[in-house]
Amino acid sequence: MKNNIDCIKTPEDIDWAYFWSKKLTEKEDRNKDWNKAAPHFAKSARRDEYHTKLLEQLNITKEDTVLDLGCGEGSITIPLAKMAKSVTGLDSSYKMLEILNDKCKKEKITNVTTIKKDLNELNPEELGNYDIVIASRSLNSIVDIKKVINAINKIATKYVYITLFGPNNWKLEKEFYEKIGKPFNEFPAHNYFFNILINMNIYPNVINLDIGQSREYSSIKEASESGKWRREVLNDEELKKFEEYINEIMTKNPKTGKYSNPYDKADWVLFWWKK
């Protein structure tokens, strides 16, 4: 494969994995302190229908073993445990795993085990095989994506399910950055991932998880503190403009008292394939 765009003569010359990693390398805010985010993540993670929409698509039986990559605090892991024989949740954040283990204890769930490991360090020989591997919203910031896909494909024996950002996930963020004259570096688009899989001779099914529901917040403050905005990368002046922007775009529902914006909705694409 040729990495110089001037050398591209046909679509087959495009090294999609190279352009994926290049785009991520240019995105300085791609990583997040998940230990710091952990205590508030569960609440923000369940503001829409994502979990329900994803679980509806999974072909899992009571005989299946599942590996949940980037499991976080267990918003997918725990429902999976009720569907499968056993689930292993793997995450790099010790704080997320603490919360997941506490939830399992409280709910008397005994078929979940956890592993603290960075997704970049997946080792099929070490982890062994699982019937199903799920990476729910956890691969967007992986630079060496082919290495991780190869590992996932070796570990899974029946199905692989992966969700990534869809094309409409960042509408408000892009609007705000344009408003303050700051470049907005996006994550690689989902079509990069599709073409990477094709180049690896993996032919996935692709489904847009139709999440029609906008996120709702109990207050403007709660909306502004949503993890999706990455406030930590804004300076004091930008934060002031951000607070003004949030106040402008959020509308209060007089019946529910909740605040929302029709463009503040998740957009996720599911890639899955049978082994």
Q: Is residue 234 part of a domain?
A: no
Q: Is residue 76 part of a domain?
A: yes
CATH of the domain at 47: 3.40.50.150
pLDDT single digits (tens) 71-80:
999 999 999 9
What pLDDT, on the 0 to 100 scale, is given for residue 2? 46
What pLDDT, on the 0 to 100 scale, is given for residue 125? 97
Q: Is residue 159 part of a domain?
A: yes
What pLDDT, on the 0 to 100 scale, is given for residue 227? 67
pLDDT single digits (tens) 150-201:
999 999 999 999 999 998 888 899 999 999 999 888 899 999 999 999 999 9
Q: How many domains does the chain have?
A: 1
Q: Is residue 231 part of a domain?
A: no
Residue 219 confidence class, pLDDT cut points 50, 70, 90: very high
Q: Which residue, 216, 217, 220, 213, is CA-closest to 242?
A: 220
Q: Is residue 152 part of a domain?
A: yes
Q: Which domain holds residue 38?
A: 14-170+185-216+267-274
Give the chain's end-to-end CA distance (angstroms, integer).
26
What pLDDT, on the 0 to 100 scale, is given for residue 211? 83
Q: Is residue 131 part of a domain?
A: yes
State pTM to two decimals. 0.87
Q: Is residue 80 part of a domain?
A: yes
Q: Is residue 201 part of a domain?
A: yes
CB 74 within 8 A of CB 99: yes
pLDDT single digits (tens) 4-26:
556 666 667 789 999 999 999 88
Q: Which residue has the higher pLDDT, 117 or 169?
A: 117
Q: Which residue, 243, 215, 219, is CA-closest to 228?
A: 215
Task: Tell me the one-letter amino acid at 197.
Answer: L
Q: Which residue has the tokens 């979940």?
A: 112
